[in-house]
Amino acid sequence: MFGRGPLTTEQPSGQQPLSPLRDFRLLLMLFIGLRLSLLVGFDLSGLIAYGDFTNYYRVAEITRVTGRLPFIGYWVEYPPLFGWANFGLYQLLITWGGSSEHAYYYALSLLVLLADAGNLWLMHRIGGRLYGPERGLDIAWVYALLGVPSVLMMWDIEPVIAFFMLLGLWWLLEGQDIRSALAIATGALIKVTPGLLLPVVWRFRPLKRSLVYTALLPDWASGPTCPS
């Protein structure tokens, strides 16, 4: 996905060689390495103290005890997709013998980290698409050096929501409207924030394509919530 070849390439005579820091693959490795170091090197209970991971774990426990899925069996503040996926992760860890809270927190943090790495790549691609490859890499570096996103992976699922919103925007820029709509609808099943991309569609797409895009959102999003 990120291309092949060495981190540096031969330059024509008279030109300065490219810095390894101008290679996105190195940035991605540093990005992931820093966040893994936070997980390994710090006390997990302190890292999650100000976030919602404990609440997510309790919701999964309630689902196991009551046998009722969130959103259908009892009210939760989120759309259904995350609640169901969260319980699936909880059950998977129990099956593998890792039912402790710490195992759950580490597993969820790694999944959020994976989504955040996708965010970094999407920012690189979107920035490159709009402003050129060099500026796209600059934007990725700025995001990688921000402090708040580095701790959100141990606090909340916002990076997952941002991933679907950025993915929808990327496909929209590429003219893949159906894929974009499905990405936004999937994100809206976690939190409604990705739906904020809809006004952009109406601003830059013809009426017919905007109507099709808008119709896909509730059609896709309502599928998992419809009673069988």
State the pLDDT confidence band at 138, using cuts at 50, 70 and 90. Answer: very high
SS3 state of residue 70: strand
| pLDDT recorded at residue 223 | 52
State pTM to two decimals.
Answer: 0.83
User: Which residue stretches of the chain are H helix?
Assistant: 24-41, 44-47, 53-66, 80-95, 101-131, 133-145, 147-152, 158-173, 177-188, 198-204, 207-222
| pLDDT recorded at residue 79 | 82
User: Does pLDDT of 160 surpass 70?
Assistant: yes
Instruction: Find tokens 């006004």 and name the residue.
Output: 199
* pLDDT tens profile 7-26: 333 444 455 556 777 889 99
Maximum average pLDDT range among 12-16, 40-44, 116-120: 116-120
Domain chopping of the chain, boundaries: 21-42+100-222
SS3 state of residue 106: helix
| pLDDT recorded at residue 17 | 57
Q: How many CA atoms lie within 13 A of 61 on its CB side?
A: 10
* Tokens representing residue 219 in the block: 């059609």
User: Does pLDDT of 6 surpass 50?
Assistant: no
* pLDDT tens profile 173-223: 999 999 999 999 999 889 888 888 999 999 999 999 999 998 888 765 555
| pLDDT recorded at residue 162 | 94
